[in-house]
Amino acid sequence: MTRDEVQALLPFLANGTLEGAEREEAEQMLDADPDLRAELHALQTVRATLRAEDPGHSPGEIGLARLMREVGKDGTARRPFWQSVHTWQSVAAALLVALLLQALFTGTDPGEDGYELAGADPEAGPAITVAIRPDTTEAAFRDLLLRAGAEIVGGPSALGLYELRPLNDVTIEEARRILETSDIVEDVTGSGD
Amino acid sequence: MDQQALLLARVAKGDKQALAALYNALERPVYRFILSRLNDPFESADVLHDVFIDVWRSAGAFEGRSKVQTWIFGIAYRKVIDLHRKRGRLQVTDDIPEQTDDGPDAEACLIAGQEAAHVRYCLDTLKDNQRIAITLAFYEDMTYGEIAEVQGVPEGTVKTRVFHAKKLLLRCLSSRVSRTVPA
C-alpha cells in the first residue's frame, strides 16, 4: 500500500470503519509516519466537530404527519390487491355504462345473443365462492386462478367474496381442490354446499 | 435480516406503521445529510418528504444487496443531485484544480478543525461529489463501499474523491487559521 493509498483511507480510519488487512497496513504505516498521524488526528477532530454540530430541528413528528397524510391519499403506492377493489369497481362501472350506451345507440338488447355477462348467466354451470385473504396481491390471485383453471364470474361482493367458475376442460372438483389448498384462500363454498 | 430490512419488507406490503417506524429511525440522519447539501431547512424538509414517499412507492424494488440505510441515502443523494441539476448548481466533474503541493500545517488544521464555522466553510469549498463523500464518512460513519453505493460509483472513485477532498479540506483549514492568527 502506497502512502497516497493510506492517505485516501485516513477518513475511514478516523470514522472507525476500516477493517482487516487494509486497517493493519494503514496502522503500520502510521506508526512509522508522524505526519500521517497528525493528519489522522486532524481528521478525527474535524469529524468530532461536524458530529457535534446541531443540525437544527428536523421535521420530526410534523414531517411524519405530512408523510402519513400523503401516503393515505397516494393512489400510486404499492398496495395489496385487496385494497384496489375500488379501482376495479370503477372500471366495471365504466364498462357497464359503455355497454348500456352501445345498446341504446344500436337498439340491441343486451340480453340477445352476442352479449354474455358471465356473472349473470345462471345456466353456465355450478360456481365456487371464495374469500381471499385481505393482503393478497393481484399477482398471487391471478396465479391461483391459472393453477385452478378457474375464472372470475362475479364479485367482489360487499363482503369481498368472489364467484369463480371452472374453465371448459376443468371439473369443479379439480378447481375446488386446488383452491382449498391455497394459502391465500380463507374459505371456499360451492353452489351445492 | 436486520430490523430496518424487516420494516422495509413490511412497507413493500403497504404497512404504514412500518413506514412510520422506518421514518422515525432514519429521519434525522437523512435530513441532516440533505440539509448539509442544501443549506435550507424548508427545502430540505421537502426533499426528506419526497425521499420517504419514494421509499413507500418503491420498497418492493429493494433487493437487499445493501443496508436499508444506504439504499435510502442513495435516494436522498439522487434527489439532491437532481435539484442541483435543475438549478445549474451542480459541479459533476472530479477534476482536481492544479495546486502547489505544500502540505497543510497540522497544528493549524487541528485548531481550525475544532471550529464548526471553519469546518463548514472549508467543506463548502469542495466539489459536490467530494463534499458528499466526506459528509457521509464523517456524519454517517459509512464505509467507502457504502458511499460508493450511495453515489453509484466504483469504490476506487470514492477513494480518489476522498483523497482529494481530505487534502483540500486540510489545506483550507490550515489557511483559515493562518489568516485569523495575527503575525
The tens digit of pLDDT for each residue in A69-119 reads 988 876 544 544 444 444 455 555 666 666 666 666 555 554 444 444 444
- Residue B22 reports pLDDT greater than 90: yes
* Grid cell of A58 as nine digits: 428536523
To the nearest whole Å, the CA of B29 is away from the closest chain A CA by 9
When the pLDDT of each residue in chain A is averaged and rounded to a whole number, the result is 77
- Domain residue spans of chain B: 3-86, 106-180
The single-letter DSSP state of residue B99 is -
pLDDT bracket for residue B157 (50, 70, 90): very high
Contact between A168 and A137 under an 8 Å Cβ cutoff? The reply is no
Report whether CATH 1.10.10.10 matches the domain B106-180: yes
> What is the complex's ipTM, to 2 decimals?
0.77
- Residue A48 reports pLDDT greater than 50: yes
Q: Could you report the per-residue pLDDT of B40-70, keeping only the tens digit for each? A: 888 999 999 999 999 999 999 888 888 999 9
- Domain residue spans of chain A: 1-72, 81-190
- Interface contact B116-A41, CB threshold 8 A: no
User: Between A and B, how many CB-CB pairs are < 8 A?
Assistant: 153
pLDDT bracket for residue A191 (50, 70, 90): low
When the pLDDT of each residue in chain B is averaged and rounded to a whole number, the result is 84
Q: Where are the alpha helices (DSSP H) in B39-154?
A: 41-58, 68-86, 106-113, 116-124, 128-139, 144-151
- Interface contact B116-A55, CB threshold 8 A: no
Topology (CATH level 3) of domain A81-190: Alpha-Beta Plaits (3.30.70)
- Interface contact B106-A45, CB threshold 8 A: no
Which positions in chain B touch A63 (Cβ < 8 Å)? Answer: 23, 27, 31, 45, 48-49
- Residue B92 reports pLDDT greater than 70: no
Task: Classify B3-86 by CATH class.
Answer: mainly alpha
Which helix (H) or strand (E) segment holds residue B33: the answer is helix B16-38
To the nearest whole Å, the CA of A119 is away from the closest chain B CA by 31
Q: What is the mean pLDDT of residues B164-175?
A: 88
